Amino acid sequence: MAWGSIGKWLKPAALAALIGLVSLSGKMDAISDAAAALADKDLLIRWTSAWAGATREATPVTLIDIDADAMAAFGNPDRAPRQLVADLLDLVKTKRPLGVFLDIDLSKAGADAAADDRLRAVFAGWPNDAPVLAVARRFQKDKTRDDEDALRPLPLIAAAVIADKPHIRQAASVALADSDSVVRRWRLSQVVCDAGAGQAFASPQLIATAAATGRPQADIDRFLAWRLRQVCAKDAKDRPVWPRNAAAETNISFLFSGEQDAHAPLARRPDGVETPVFRRISARTLMGESRAALPADRVSAEPFAGRFVVIGASHADAHDEHMTPIGKLPGAIIAANAIAGAPAILSAIEVSAFGKTAMALLLFAAFAALSLRFRASVASVVVSLCSLALLPVLGRIFAPSSALEIVFAAIAMLAMFAAIESALEIWQGWREGLGWRVLLKPSKSPKEIA
Amino acid sequence: MRLWLALLAAWLLATSAAFADTRRPAGYVVAVETPDGAPAPILRRQGQELDVLVWTPLFDGDALEVSGKASVAIETAKDKRLVVDAARSPHRVSGELGGGSKFAGLASRLGELFKAKPDATPTNLVGRSDGALRLRLGDEAGQKVVAGKPIWLAWRGGTPPFDIELRGQTRQRKLDIQALARAQTENGEVKLIIPPHAAGSLRLIVRDAAGQEARAALEVTSAPQVPDWIADGAPPTDMAALAMALHLLMNQPARYDFYAAGLAAALEGAPARELLNRLKRGERPK
């Protein structure tokens, strides 16, 4: 065999040996995982959210968790003791929070009527100058309607008491589970259309963002009135200016998992101080020996002041665990993620489906120009880097999920463009009489082509 | 000159204390116990004395001073969870809670790229029979029981054998908390007699072989009032006792669960056994 012939195979053999060595060392798994991760939409939404500033602008949230420890102190009842919930509300309102979201099911009377009365008394006594209190309302599918998405609210034991309290709102904490049972998206508001008397409920993230940005309650009322008209009367005119991005359904920016040792992102407070976006406090630490909440003067205001407080339950009997892109989480932590990431999403520019397509086409034109000018490997690196650089920029201007949709659509168009271009080349070569050899890669080097 | 130096020192102390909360905390106070008469714990931060409240942030260099019978539980980056009492006082706090810097954030995100596969957790694909230990009755706080009378309790989950312990005070030694009754069983139910000398608040503890615990708080009180048509059932028959048990179990709030079930457990016969079986399954009379 001639030396030239050996030389021809030397480079591919050396490359194959190198790849074989990497593979034998077990690193190929990590490389293939990383390559696959770059196509993981959930991961890229989290990155885009973080890089687009969702963390920095986040509403800091403190979760008072009625967890297994707190339940054990009450002899493990089936549901969160209402007496404790009432005590916690009394405690929290003295600590200057931005607002409070009570993420506890109050659709049925509890076993202890006195505790229910105590909770109603706390609602009745909620001062008009106190922070806004959002009370979760549960919804279930409305079987009387043909619409698959139609929900109807379950009763609320304190509905009558809070009806005339301006600083207490009923909130719809509704998330959407995709076909793989993973919760990824929130609903900004929940509208219930009834003949003549519809009702619109704000999500806790909408209420929290209004509280964190100093918006008056009237802004929420205006938005809900518009949503009611839009959904029930099909009249979308006179859209209120706030929130700027009123997309009904948006991906939740999962910024934290709530686990003790997990990476804790920081948000910047209005005074410039950095503070953890999320804090989780066991309700047990706020209870005394008698199981009542500690007196306010024995609890520091630091975990609550200037933060939105969620009172929720993570104990097993709450049956409120859901699959999310970052693992199985209690509903209260999903709500906390939605609340924390909401300002970046609600302040983004809302972009219609047509707008997204137009931007994706523009981006595709730029990517196609790059791929025509450069070699495939160089073009793919440049397109990848451009995509990663564009995600935070677009995510900052539009919502992170919209940014991802635009960039992914452009990449899909580019892939289709490359496939059609290759098919056309094959067809042209076939017509020029190359026969089956048209399927082979051209063997000439760039130098020979030049 | 001295006056200027004093003013400068005061200004430095005030500003450094004010800037303390711009640092990242080292941890937090999670519980403060100050029995009657015990002096309140003190937190010393850069020459200042601060009150120790639950969820007070702790910073590197803080000193926690506890005396007498008081104690303070803290959770910090370095100590995880530590109870500081007089023996450990003064406790100097050090370290800083991690995470949050831009570099840490970037590193965490890049790490996430190479940890795309979720951490594997072994999962049994077998129906569980060792769920969390949990009492079937006595959901309501402060169950009332009667000295000298039986109680019956049932639980679910846990790994047999189970140890049941009743702790509390007696009429004679009100300050002593001691074991008043004990039992061991392989089943998820037990009948206990509340000792005639028991008084005040009692604690019922069920422990399983795996170390899980279920607890209930009891309060020794007098026998409950029941409607005359039950109490007057003369002579007191098994049927009257069963009716009394049902009446108490149906009460809202259910304060006499253990006592009522004890009445049924003291009876012979199918109706009483059926009632206990239903209670054991978690059903209640409505």
Interface predicted TM-score of the whole assembly (ipTM), two decimals: 0.72
**Which of B32, B57, B97 is opposite residue A298, by nearest beta carbon?**
B32
**Which of B112, B118, B139 is opposite residue A111, by nearest beta carbon?**
B139
Indicate the pLDDT class of residue A294, thresholds 50, 70 and 90: very high
3-state secondary structure of B192: strand
Q: Which amino acid belongs to residue B207?
A: R
Residue B162 pairs in a beta bridge with B185
Q: Per residue in A365-395, pLDDT tens?
A: 999 998 888 888 888 889 988 988 898 889 8
When mean pLDDT is compared over A145-159, A266-280, A323-337, the highest value belongs to: A323-337
Identify whether residues A340 and A360 lie together within a single domain: no
Residue B137 pLDDT > 70:
yes
The interaxial angle of helices B257-265 and B238-249, nearest 10 deg, is 160
Identify whether residues A289 and A400 lie together within a single domain: no
Identify whether residues A361 and A339 lie together within a single domain: no
Average pLDDT for chain A: 87
Residues of A whose CB is below 8 A from B27: none
Contact at CB, A291 and B141, closer than 8 angstroms:
yes
Contact at CB, A263 and B114, closer than 8 angstroms:
no
Identify whether residues A131 and A62 lie together within a single domain: yes
Identify whether residues A341 and A393 lie together within a single domain: no
pLDDT for A132 equals 96
When mean pLDDT is compared over A75-79, B10-14, B160-164, the highest value belongs to: B160-164
Buried b (16+ CB within 10 A) or exposed e, B138-148: bbbbbbbbbbe
Identify whether residues A203 and A292 lie together within a single domain: yes
Identify whether residues A410 and A328 lie together within a single domain: no
Identify whether residues A394 and A411 lie together within a single domain: yes
Residue B92 pairs in a beta bridge with B63
Domain containing A299 equals 51-346
When mean pLDDT is compared over A33-47, A64-78, A184-198, the highest value belongs to: A184-198
Looking at A304, A325, A346, the residue that finishes a domain is: A346
- Nearest-Cα residue of chain B relative to residue A27: B114
Is the CB of A374 inside 8 Å of chain B's CB atoms? no
Interface of B with A (CB under 8 A): 21-22, 24, 28-32, 53-57, 97-100, 104-105, 108-109, 112-118, 132, 134-135, 138-141, 143, 213-217, 252-254
Contact at CB, A291 and B32, closer than 8 angstroms:
no
**Which of B31, B100, B139 is opposite residue A78, by nearest beta carbon?**
B139
Identify whether residues A169 and A283 lie together within a single domain: yes
Is the CB of A430 inside 8 Å of chain B's CB atoms? no
**For residues B56 and A302, what is the distance between their CA atoms, to the nearest angstrom?**
7
Average pLDDT score over residue span A281-292: 89
Number of domains in chain A: 2
Q: Per residue in A299-344, pLDDT tens?
A: 999 999 999 999 999 987 778 889 898 888 999 999 999 999 999 8
A19 within domain boundaries? no
Residues of A whose CB is below 8 A from B141: 74-75, 81, 83, 291
Residue B104 pLDDT > 70:
no
**For residues B263 and A72, what is the distance between their CA atoms, to the nearest angstrom?**
26
Q: Which of the two residues, A55 and B247, has the higher pLDDT score?
A: B247
How many alpha carbons fall within 13 Å on the CB side of residue A251? Answer: 25
Least confident window among A125-129, A178-182, A404-408, B234-238: B234-238
A377 within domain boundaries? yes
pLDDT for A181 equals 84
**For residues B143 and A440, what is the distance between their CA atoms, to the nearest angstrom?**
83
pLDDT for B120 equals 56
Contact at CB, A50 and B109, closer than 8 angstroms:
yes
Q: How many CB pairs under 8 A join A and B?
A: 106
Residue B18 pLDDT > 50:
no
Looking at A280, A311, A346, the residue that finishes a domain is: A346
Record the pTM.
0.70
Looking at A303, A319, A346, the residue that finishes a domain is: A346
Average pLDDT score over residue span A263-288: 85
Q: Which amino acid belongs to residue A2?
A: A
Identify whether residues A357 and A338 lie together within a single domain: no
Residue B135 · residue B206 · CB < 8 Å = yes
Identify whether residues A203 and A308 lie together within a single domain: yes
Identify whether residues A246 and A361 lie together within a single domain: no
Q: And the tokens for B51?
A: 């009150």
